[in-house]
Structure 1
C-alpha cells in the first residue's frame, strides 16, 4: 500500500488535476465527507453518475488499495481534523464583545479546571526542590510548552535561582547530559510525546538529576519523569481562537513561581528590589509598573 499522508489534500489536488470522472468524484467527496466515508460503493457511484469500477480506480489513483482503504484514510482525516473540515457556521453579525467573551471565558474556565485538579502538595514539593537546587533546567518543545519553559526561567531567575531554559532539542539533550544530582529538570509538554523532551529527561535521570514533568497523565513523558504534575487540556469547538489551555499552563507556572518565592522567604527580596531599581532608573521612573514586564 502506498503511504497516504493527507487524503484531503490529495482530493483537493484531484479536483484540479484528475480525469473528468476523478474530478467529479473528488468534488463529491469533499462536498459531503460524512456520506463518502459511510456510503457503499454503489451509492457513491450512483451519486457521481459513474460505474463502480470507476470508483475503485479513483481510490487507487489517490494512493489507496481500494474503496475500503480509502474510507479508512477518510475516516481518520475526519476524526483528526473534522472541526476544520466542517466548522460550525461563524456568526459574523455579532459585535466585538463576542470575541472578547470567547477569549476571557475560555481562559477563565481553563484556569478554573486546572486549579480544581491540581495536587497542591506535589506542587509545593516541586517548589521546595527548585528553591534548593543548585541548577534548574527548564525544557519544552512546541509553541505553548517552549513558551512556558522560557517563562519559568523568567520567573525563577529573579528569585535568585540558577536557571536556564532550552527549547532547541539538541541543546536540551546536551544540557541534560551535564546534569548532576544537584540539578532539577522541569519539563513541559502538553501532549507528553515530544521526543527531545523525553530523551532529555531520561538522560538527566541517568546522571542523578531530579526530574519534574508538567504533562498529560499516562504519557511517555509522565512515565519518564520522577515527579508529575498532571496537565489535561480541554478545548471548545471554536477553531478560530487560539487555544485556551496555555492560560491554564501559565497559571501552573505562576503557582510554582509563587510557591518557590515563598519557600525562599525574604532571601528573594533583595534581588527583586535591585531589578525594580535598575529598570526604573534606566527605563521609566514609574514604580507602578510590573517587575520587569
Structure 2
C-alpha cells in the first residue's frame, strides 16, 4: 500500500488510475478478479497484469498476496474484509464473500498437472504416510489418511513427531510421504521430509510456493492464498488445503475405478446397517 501511494506521482496516467483505484478500496481489490479490476479502472485485463509487474510483482496474484499481507500487518480489524462498524448481517456477507472470492481467484492457479503427478505417485505407492506439524496440519493429515484407507491405499498418520520421524525412516523407494503445512517451515516436519527423501520416498507437499517445505518436496500442491489478519493459518488457508485434499481424493477414486467404488459402497452399506451413518440412528448412550 505504501509503495503504491509513494509511486503514484511517477506513474503514467493509466497506471496511476489503477493505483488510485486500489488505494481507494484495497480490501475490494484483494477479493476481485482481473476482469472486474479492469472494468472499474477503465482499462483492459492485460493492462492490469502489466501494472502488477510495473510495481514489482510477478503478476496479479502476487500483487494481491502482497496487498493482503500489508493490510493484515496494519489493520485493526479481526478480519480483512470486516470493518468495526459492520452490522451482523454485513459481517456474515463480508466473511462469506471473502472466502468465495478467494476460492474463485485461487482456483485459476491450481495446476492439474501437479495433481496428476501426486495421484500417479500415491496410486502406485506401497505405503503412504501423511504428516503435519501444528493443530490444523495434524487435522488435515488425519483427514487425508482417513480418505486414503477408504480407497484401499495403505496409509499411516502420526501426530507424534518422533513417530513421524521413525515412520519416515521405514519408507522405501516407491512409497510416498504427504507433508502438509501452510507455513511450510516447521523444523520437525522438515526433518521428517529429509529422512523420507533419504529413504527413497516421493514427497508431496501441500504448502505455499517458495517455502522450505516446497523446496524440499518432489511434488508441490500449492495453496497460495491471502494471509490472515490475526492467525498464522487462517480460514482461507484451511479451506484451500481441504479442497486440495478433496480434489486429490476424488482424482484417486476415479483413477482406481471399480476397486475404489466397491470399497466405498461396502463402507456406506456397513455404516447404514449399523445405523451409525443415518439420520434415523438412535442417540449415542441410549438416551
Instruction: State the distance in 2 between where 1:86 and 1:111 align.
Output: 20
- Inter-CA distance 83–168: structure 2 relative to 1 (3 Å threshold): farther
Alignment of 1:150-169 (within 5 A): 150-169=142-161
Q: Residue by residue, what CA displacement relative to the aligned partner does 1:135-192 show, whole Å, maximum 9, x if unpaired? A: 0001111232222111111211111111112232222111111111131000111111
2:108 counterpart of 1:134 = no
Residue 282 of structure 1 and its aligned partner are, at CA, apart by 1.1
Q: Out of 194, 198, 202, which is 1:206 matched to?
A: 198
Q: Tell me, which stretches of 5 or more residues in structure 1 are unaligned?
A: 1-77
Q: Residue by residue, what CA displacement relative to the aligned partner does 1:219-262 show, whole Å, maximum 9, x if unpaired? A: 111111111122212046588x9522211111111011111111
Residue 91 of structure 1 and its aligned partner are, at CA, apart by 2.5
2:150 counterpart of 1:187 = no
TM-score, with structure 1 as normaliser: 0.64
Residue aligned with 1:164, SS: strand
Q: Tell me, which stretches of 5 or more residues in structure 2 are unaligned?
A: 1-69, 282-287
Q: Out of 232, 236, 239, which is 1:244 matched to?
A: 236
Instruction: State the distance in 2 between where 1:120 and 1:79 align.
Output: 31
Q: Indicate if the aligned counterparts of 1:181 and 1:210 stay in contact, CA closer than 8 A.
A: yes
- Inter-CA distance 236–190: structure 2 relative to 1 (3 Å threshold): closer
Instruction: State the distance in 2 between where 1:200 and 1:233 align.
Output: 25
Residue 203 of structure 1 and its aligned partner are, at CA, apart by 0.3
When the two chains are superposed, the root-mean-square deviation of aligned CA atoms in Å is 3.0
2:253 counterpart of 1:253 = no
Q: Indicate if the aligned counterparts of 1:107 and 1:245 stay in contact, CA closer than 8 A.
A: no
How many residues were matched structurally?
A: 209
Residue aligned with 1:251, SS: helix
Instruction: State the distance in 1 between where 2:126 and 2:90 align.
Output: 48
Residue 105 of structure 1 and its aligned partner are, at CA, apart by 1.8
| 2:111 paired residue number | 119
- Inter-CA distance 279–165: structure 2 relative to 1 (3 Å threshold): same
Residue 204 of structure 1 and its aligned partner are, at CA, apart by 0.5
Q: Which protein has the larger Cα radius of gyration, Structure 1 or Structure 2?
A: 1
| 2:85 paired residue number | 91
